[in-house]
Amino acid sequence: MTRILTVVGARPQFIKAAPVSRALDRAGNEEIVVHTGQHYDTAMSDVFFARLGIRDPKHHLGIGSAGHGAQTGRMLEGLERVIVAECPDAVLVYGDTNSTLAGALAAVKLHVPVAHIEAGLRSFNRRMPEEINRVLTDHVSSMLFAPTDAAVVNLRNEGIVENVVRTGDVMYDVATLFRSEIGVEAAQIAARFRVEPKHYVFLTLHRAENSDDPVRWSGIMRAIRQISEEIGPVLWPVHPRVRALAADVESPHVRLLDPQPYAETQALVMNARLVLTDSGGLQKEAAFHSVPCVTLRDETEWVELIDAGVNRLAGADTATIVRLAHEARWPKRGISGQLYGNGNTSDDIVKAIGRLMETAQ
């Protein structure tokens, strides 16, 4: 039995941890969950634990919001204390947030092996805090679970070849797990939001690279207004970090919503004509549900979706965003079935952790 300490803190990590926790249980491992408190609003955190059946955190660090240095520093301090007290065999971290980096750094300095799920993703844009978190986390990890071929190549190009395992994507596992359940509710949910299936646009936008740059932000806002008039109503569940900024664009056609739970988000994606987003997770979820996506960034880590023609990069230029939104169609050939695994990635990862831990001993 392996004793795994899982570090989560931000919304996408709660979603990713859900299937992996189940897989850890199935394989008879012991899991201790630590919540850093990076996301703390009920709508950003608690509702995900409830709906996805995630194990209650044994430790809640309650770090909350702060600048990058202060937030990551406080997490490091808290996580070090927890790791020393719990003596895990390995620390499991997800993705690219400040919670990921803090978990990885705290563990490696205590000589505890780090397992990184979503290893090897790169935007090659070092102005993104997420890119720094990814690169640093990968370089201190001793088990690297890369969700795509591109991720494996990125790691190799940085000299990381040992203990790299090409897996699928655990978000696809979650989507598979909940697809039928949510599918049944999807039409009702869309009705609750007073939208007609396939006649509205689903938007999320919160990345610092957009919200902290007034020129990019206003370019995107102009596009959203135009799209809402020319294509259909825009539904936007607003991340708390951009609540004040988003208020300006609200209109009968651009409807601002509170952050939505997992099922509601998936249902609204499934029924959308188009997804507009700067989130990594949403780009994939749109593809899981065969909905075309226009990404409001200059680059993406999920390059295979661009290659497949189901996602297009629009940056922040108004005319480009509007044009790509008009052009967006789900191509007949769709995406290859196994692009992100077969829905059993979490079990594959847990098996690989067991194997790698054994060979390390």
The reply to whether 12 sits near ligand UD1 by the rule CB under 6 A is: yes
Q: Let me know: does 123 contact 148? Beta carbons within 8 Å.
A: no
When the beta carbons of 65 and 290 are compared against ligand UD1, the nearer one is: 65
User: Do residues 279 and 206 make contact, with C-beta atoms less than 8 angstroms apart?
Assistant: yes
**Least gap, CB of 35 to ligand UD1 (angstroms):** 12
What residue has token string 């909905």? 291
Out of 27, 44, 150, 256, name the contact with ligand UD1 by CB under 6 A.
Answer: 44
Q: Which is nearer to ligand UD1, 16 or 225 (CB)?
A: 16
**Among the candidate windows 32-40, 83-91, 105-113, 160-168, which touches ligand UD1 by CB under 6 A?**
32-40
The yes or no reply on residue 116 touching ligand UD1 (CB under 6 A) is no
In the complex with ligand UD1, which residue's Cβ is closer, 25 or 212? Answer: 212
Query: Would you tell me how many other CB atoms lie within 10 Å of the CB of residue 263?
Result: 17
Angstrom distance (rounded) from CA 261 to CA 355: 35
Buried/exposed 207-226: b ≥16 CB within 10 Å, e otherwise: bebbbeeeebbebbbbbbbb
Q: Where are the alpha helices (DSSP H) in the chain?
A: 11-26, 46-52, 68-86, 98-109, 129-140, 149-157, 170-192, 208-211, 214-230, 243-246, 262-270, 280-288, 303-307, 318-327, 345-360
97 contacts ligand UD1 (rule: CB under 6 A): yes
**Binds ligand UD1 by CB under 6 A, chosen from 31, 96, 304, 347:** 96
139 is catalytic: no
Q: Which of 60, 62, 12, 11 is closest to 32 using CA atoms?
A: 60
Decide if residue 212 touches ligand UD1 (CB under 6 A).
no
Which one of 21, 98, 228, 260 is in contact with ligand UD1 (CB under 6 A)? 98
Region near ligand UD1 per CB under 6 A, out of 22-30, 239-247, 311-319, 325-333: 239-247
Beta carbon nearer to ligand UD1, 293 or 353? 293
| Cβ at position 12, least distance to ligand UD1 in Å | 5
Distance of CA 180 to the CA centre of its chain: 21
List the one residue out of 48, 53, 60 whose CA is nearest residue 23: 53
Report if residue 136 touches ligand UD1, rule: CB under 6 A: no
- Does position 11 interact with ligand UD1 (CB under 6 A)? The reply is yes
Establish if 131 lies at the interface with ligand UD1 (CB under 6 A).
no
Of 233-241, 295-303, 320-328, 338-346, the window that binds ligand UD1 (rule: CB under 6 A) is 233-241
CB-nearer residue toward ligand UD1: 301 or 348: 301
CB count within 10 Å of CB 156 equals 13
CA distance 149 to 163: 15
Identified binder of ligand UD1 from the candidate list 129, 261, 309, 354, rule CB under 6 A = 129
What's the rounded Cα separation, in Å, for the pair 353 and 82? 21
Q: Does 31 bind ligand UD1 (CB under 6 A)?
A: no
Least distance from ligand UD1 to the Cβ atom of residue 191, Å: 27
Out of 39, 206, 239, 253, pick the active-site residue.
206
**8, 246, 356 from 32: Cα distances, Å:** 11, 37, 20
Binding site for ligand UD1 (CB under 6 A): 10-12, 38-41, 44, 65, 96-98, 129-130, 206, 239-241, 279
Q: Which residues are catalytic?
A: 206
